């Protein structure tokens, strides 16, 4: 049965995801082609998670622009951005309004470049991101794709680097990935990399655009890399930068699951092993050993407990895989998008585990997750902070992971990936369940 209405959707606005991806490019600034409120909403949303100043410009549509088109506003906006920020790259994402009136963003940018012939201006990369066509995660992938399509140059000089398309992960995850790639001795081009731009240190002086991010020069080299690794099992082929590079530049593509938990991390490190020809380094193998040991320790607290998981499709798939490894059972799995084959992959995962099939939703909203959780029962919610109301109304604990985390600090520093990330998640989830048991105990206890 099709849904007549969405109540409290688990997915967010498409250009919001694009804006996040563009924050991972060095000396880049994002402009939204549409009305001002969109930019304000996205800034507010991102700032509450990252706790950093985040500038997103807007071509500020008015009533008149909404009827006659926003070309003139866009041109003035680009002039202002160049004079105020001196960026190397301006990324322009469309919004619902500009898409609905059919404003031709590409044409406006071409006109702007023509008007500036002979002048030195930044790269200007457009991306089409109407929110009624996808969610924040699609916006993220589309932004990465737009960058690769714009910059990747041919394979005239193949080199030894590997492209890594990590998807929408935390700043800590990005730093972890860099460490892991370094351990393999693998030069890598990570697109995007907002680990510093959205979580840098203190500055001596003000930077209009925070330092860090993937340099444009490296974006150009992605077409010459020896391979691409892209995290995501359900990314549409039209949104896959790895696939694009394989088709247009002959770069071998490995599209693998987000490395959360033992099995998914094994796949990631085996892929790195194959590409680099280097065995999995001892430091990473040691982490795996610690994780296996900790899973044994935690099993008695977790086995048979029911978890509700929600978030971006690929995130839910990998987190669910990990939760099943811990002995937890799944009662509801809510993917926020409409990823290709999400339901089928989720079903196959649970079937393989031999546990009871959860209720699986795609394009889900919190209302239906709530109703399903009542039906199937739940001991813990696992997902972003937007599940707080649900967790509060049921008085069931919520372990906050993923994006966004708006009611706690430290969201960007949560490590999810790799054996180390799985250890972190295991501790968070197990301790939350122990805390709940402890708090309802009539006698109280201090040993477990």
By beta-carbon proximity to ligand SF4, the closer residue of 96 and 144 is 96
- The single-letter DSSP state of residue 196 is T
C-alpha angle 196-147-74 in degrees, rounded to nearest 5: 95
By beta-carbon proximity to ligand SF4, the closer residue of 95 and 163 is 95
> To 10 degrees, the CA torsion angle through 415, 419, 420, 426?
80
Q: Which of 95, 128, 265, 320 binds ligand SF4 (CB under 6 A)?
A: 95
Contact criterion met (CB below 8 Å) for 360 and 339: no
By beta-carbon proximity to ligand SF4, the closer residue of 131 and 233 is 131
By beta-carbon proximity to ligand SF4, the closer residue of 131 and 170 is 131
By beta-carbon proximity to ligand SF4, the closer residue of 6 and 347 is 6
By beta-carbon proximity to ligand SF4, the closer residue of 142 and 174 is 142
Q: Which of 6, 8, 41, 340 binds ligand SF4 (CB under 6 A)?
A: 41
15 binds ligand SF4 (CB under 6 A): yes
428 by Cβ neighbours in 10 Å (0-12 / 13-18 / 19+) ranks as middle
355 by Cβ neighbours in 10 Å (0-12 / 13-18 / 19+) ranks as middle
Q: Is the peptide bond before 283 cis (omega within 30 degrees of 0)?
A: no
219 CB contacts (<8 Å, ≥6 apart)? 25, 147, 148, 150, 151, 152, 189, 191
Cβ 94 to ligand SF4, closest distance in Å?
Answer: 8
Cβ 43 to ligand SF4, closest distance in Å?
Answer: 11
> In 367-417, at which residue ranges do the beta strands (DSSP E only) sit?
380-383, 398-400
Q: Which segment (33-41, 291-299, 344-352, 382-390) binds ligand SF4 by CB under 6 A? A: 33-41
Q: Which of 20, 25, 31, 38 binds ligand SF4 (CB under 6 A)?
A: 38
Contact criterion met (CB below 8 Å) for 31 and 77: yes
By beta-carbon proximity to ligand SF4, the closer residue of 168 and 218 is 168
Alpha carbon separation from 277 to 257, 264, 280, 335 (Å, rounded): 21, 20, 9, 36
Cβ 96 to ligand SF4, closest distance in Å?
Answer: 3
Q: Which segment (34-42, 63-71, 197-205, 415-423) binds ligand SF4 by CB under 6 A? A: 34-42
Q: Which of 27, 30, 65, 131 binds ligand SF4 (CB under 6 A)?
A: 131
Count residues binding ligand SF4 (CB under 6 A): 8
Rounded CA separation 235/258 (Å): 11
Interface ranges with ligand SF4 (CB under 6 A)? 13, 15, 34, 38, 41, 95-96, 131
């Amino acid at each position: 049965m099709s849904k007549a209405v969405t109540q409290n959707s688990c997915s967010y606005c498409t250009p919001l995801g694009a804006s996040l991806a563009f924050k991972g490019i060095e000396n880049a600034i994002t402009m939204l082609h549409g009305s001002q409120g969109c930019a304000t909403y996205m800034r507010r949303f991102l700032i509450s998670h990252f706790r950093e100043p985040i500038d997103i410009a807007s071509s500020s549509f008015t009533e008149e622009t909404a009827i006659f088109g926003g070309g003139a506003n866009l041109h003035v906006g680009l002039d202002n951005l160049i004079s105020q920020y001196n960026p190397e790259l301006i990324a322009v994402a469309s919004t619902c309004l500009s898409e609905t009136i059919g404003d031709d963003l590409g044409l406006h940018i071409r006109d702007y470049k023509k008007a500036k012939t002979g002048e030195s201006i930044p790269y200007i990369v457009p991306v089409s991101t109407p929110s009624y066509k996808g969610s924040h995660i699609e916006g993220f992938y589309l932004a990465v794709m737009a960058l690769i399509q714009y910059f990747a140059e041919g394979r005239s000089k193949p080199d030894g680097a590997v492209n890594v398309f990590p998807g929408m992960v935390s700043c800590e995850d990005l730093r972890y990935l860099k460490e892991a790639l370094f351990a393999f001795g693998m030069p890598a081009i990570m697109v995007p990399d907002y680990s510093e731009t959205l979580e840098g240190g203190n500055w001596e002086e003000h930077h209009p655009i925070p330092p860090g991010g993937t340099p444009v020069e490296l974006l150009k080299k992605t077409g010459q890399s020896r391979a691409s690794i892209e995290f995501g099992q359900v990314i549409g082929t039209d949104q896959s930068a790895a696939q694009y590079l394989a088709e247009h530049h002959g770069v071998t593509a490995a599209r693998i699951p987000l490395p959360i938990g033992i099995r998914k991390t094994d796949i990631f490190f085996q892929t790195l092993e194959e590409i680099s020809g280097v065995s999995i380094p001892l430091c990473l193998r040691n982490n795996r050993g610690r994780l296996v040991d900790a899973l044994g320790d935690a099993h008695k607290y977790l086995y048979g407990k029911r978890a509700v998981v929600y978030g971006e499709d690929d995130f839910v798939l990998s987190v669910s895989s990990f939760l099943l490894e811990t002995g937890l059972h799944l009662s509801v799995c809510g993917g926020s998008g409409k990823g290709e084959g999400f339901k089928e992959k989720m079903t196959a995962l649970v079937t393989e585990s031999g546990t009871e099939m959860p209720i699986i939703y795609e394009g889900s909203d919190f209302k239906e997750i709530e109703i399903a959780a009542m039906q199937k029962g739940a001991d813990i919610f696992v997902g972003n902070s937007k599940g707080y109301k649900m967790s509060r109304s049921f008085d069931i604990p919520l372990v906050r992971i993923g994006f966004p985390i708006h009611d706690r600090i430290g969201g960007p520093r949560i490590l999810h990936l790799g054996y180390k990330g799985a250890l972190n998640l295991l501790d968070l989830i197990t301790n939350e369940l122990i805390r709940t048991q402890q708090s309802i105990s009539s006698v109280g206890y201090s040993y477990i």
